[in-house]
Amino acid sequence: MEPRLNPFENAPMRKFIKHLMAAGKVIDDSALPAATQELVKIRASQINGCGFCTDMHTKDAAHAGETQTRLTMVAVWREAKVFTGAERAALELTEQGTRIADAAGGVGEEVWARAAEHYDEEQLGALVALIACINTYNRMNVIVQLPAGDYQPGQFG
């Protein structure tokens, strides 16, 4: 399968990705736990049907030491006992932040309050930025039909 447009060879997309990566570095360097960051990226990518990002982030998480059980259970996190309360709150915020069009009111107050119980203001800012960033990547990759399966951990630095 070939992408409709190769974002790594297309000048405007390449420049855009460079800026997204810089934004991602700000999130990476935040106090939001790295494991939580990967779980959020995986869940948003699953919801959006982005095979490329799902492949990348599950492999990166495994490479960083995440267990296969937890990776397998991300899609059904509500029924899984392997996530902390903080991770569950982040996953819930990710789902509502990703599915904004499905809820007339956007992210519910209860969901925000649960996240705020576990994360300070800096971490919440990083979490919101992360959800926005991964959704941007997902949409770009789904639109151009970037194929999945060949990613190697650390491939993009």
Q: How far apart are CA 126 and CA 28, in angstroms?
A: 9
6 sits in the region (left: phi over 0; alpha: psi -120 to 50; else beta) called beta
Amino acid 97: pLDDT: 96
45-81 residue pLDDT tens? 999 999 999 999 999 999 999 999 999 999 999 999 9
Contact 93, 127 (CB under 8 A): yes
Contact 126, 36 (CB under 8 A): no
Nearby residues of 48 by Cβ (< 8 Å), 6 or more positions away:
98, 135, 138, 139, 142
Q: How far apart are CA 145 and CA 139, in angstroms?
A: 10
Please, what is the end-to-end C-alpha distance for the chain in angstroms? 25
Amino acid 105: pLDDT: 78
Q: What is the set of domains in the chain, with CATH numbers?
A: 11-144 (1.20.1290.10)
Q: How far apart are CA 78 and CA 26, in angstroms?
A: 29
Q: How far apart are CA 129 and CA 30, in angstroms?
A: 11
Amino acid 81: pLDDT: 97
Amino acid 101: pLDDT: 84
Amino acid 66: pLDDT: 97
125 CB neighbour count, 10 Å cutoff: 16
Q: How far apart are CA 87 and CA 61, in angstroms?
A: 14
Amino acid 131: pLDDT: 98
pTM: 0.95
- Which residue ranges in the chain fall short of pLDDT 50? none
Q: How far apart are CA 108 and CA 113, in angstroms?
A: 9
Amino acid 102: pLDDT: 83
